[in-house]
């Protein structure tokens, strides 16, 4: 990560913590009131081919200690009513401001993958994870909705894994590498504003 990108992340993450602090506190109370503890879901993700970190989100699903792999249709029954609303507007990702401040994430970059996929596709993720993972990015903007539709049709963990590996991993990596090749502060601003615009469009729909 360049020093310009790190300054960009620290400045805007700090600004958002101040601006969104009351909303985040309200969401903490709402999750506690509607779902109880734990309030957060902390998942292992990879920020390099060899380094992992805990990715923070508001908890949106019922607890399953044997949970693994990406989320597909086979996990849909575990999504809570409040969790569905938080996911629809990506409010569950607000705690990732903490990950940005710590340096685990950038605002813009590839979404951080699970360890199992980094180990299964080492050459591909060796290239993708030369960029610091981000909360949003080109692949998130261009492919996220399609990925959700693909995985929602999967009724078993095996089907979800097969679809994710066969379709989602290579397509997202291709977009992540396009971002990596063209990365700049202006491009990051553009992708952030596109993400915000998509959230408003989703809210109206």
Cα distance between residue 147 and residue 158, in whole Å: 16
pLDDT of residue 65: 84
- For 39, the token pair is 């309030």
* Residue 138 bridge partners (DSSP): none
Contact 80, 34 (CB under 8 A): yes
Nearest C-alpha neighbor of 169 from the set 125, 106, 203: 125
Nearest to 21 by CA among 102, 117, 97: 97
Q: Within 13 Å, how many C-alpha atoms sit on residue 89's CB side?
A: 10
Rounded to whole angstroms, the Cα distance separating 68 from 157 reads 9
Number of domains in the chain: 1
pLDDT tens-digit profile of 17-27? Answer: 999 999 999 99
Residue 143 confidence (pLDDT):
95
Domain coverage including residue 26: 3-204
Condensed to tens digits (0 to 9), the pLDDT of residues 26-85 reads 999 999 999 999 999 999 999 999 999 999 999 999 999 888 899 999 999 999 999 999
Q: How far apart are the first and last CA of the chain?
A: 36
* CA pair distance 88, 60, nearest whole angstrom: 11
pLDDT at 102: 96
Q: What per-residue confidence (pLDDT) applies to 205?
A: 45
Does residue 107 have a pLDDT over 50? Answer: yes
Q: What is the 3-state secondary structure (H, E, C) of 152-194?
A: HCCCCHHHHHHHHHHHHHHHHHHHHHHHHHHCCHHHHHHHHHH
Q: pLDDT of 124-174, one tens digit each? A: 999 999 999 999 999 999 999 999 999 999 999 999 999 999 999 999 999
* Structure-token pair, residue 188: 């990051």
Task: Provide the CA 146 distance to its chain's centre, in angstroms.
Answer: 15
Let me know: does 94 contact 24? Beta carbons within 8 Å: yes
Structure tokens at 40: 């957060």
Give dist(CA 130, CA 115) in Å, integer.
16
């Amino acid at each position: 990560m360049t020093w310009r990108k790190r300054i960009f992340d620290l400045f805007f993450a700090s600004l958002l913590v101040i601006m969104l602090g009351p909303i985040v506190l309200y969401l903490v109370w709402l999750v506690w009131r509607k779902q109880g503890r734990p309030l957060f879901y902390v998942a292992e993700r990879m920020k390099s081919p060899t380094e992992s970190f805990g990715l923070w989100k508001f908890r949106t699903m019922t607890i399953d200690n044997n949970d693994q792999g990406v989320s597909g249709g086979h996990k849909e029954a575990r999504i809570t009513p409040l969790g569905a609303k938080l996911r629809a507007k990506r409010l569950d990702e607000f705690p990732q401001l903490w990950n940005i401040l710590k340096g685990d994430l950038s605002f813009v970059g590839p979404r951080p993958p699970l360890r199992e996929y980094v180990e299964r596709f080492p050459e591909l993720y060796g290239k993708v994870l030369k960029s610091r993972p981000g909360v949003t990015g080109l692949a998130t903007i261009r492919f996220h909705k399609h990925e959700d539709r693909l995985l929602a049709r999967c009724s078993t963990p095996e089907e979800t894994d097969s679809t994710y590996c066969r379709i989602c991993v290579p397509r997202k990596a291709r977009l992540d590498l396009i971002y990596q090749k063209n990365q700049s502060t202006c491009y990051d601003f553009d992708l952030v504003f596109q993400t915000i615009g998509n959230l408003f469009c989703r809210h109206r729909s």
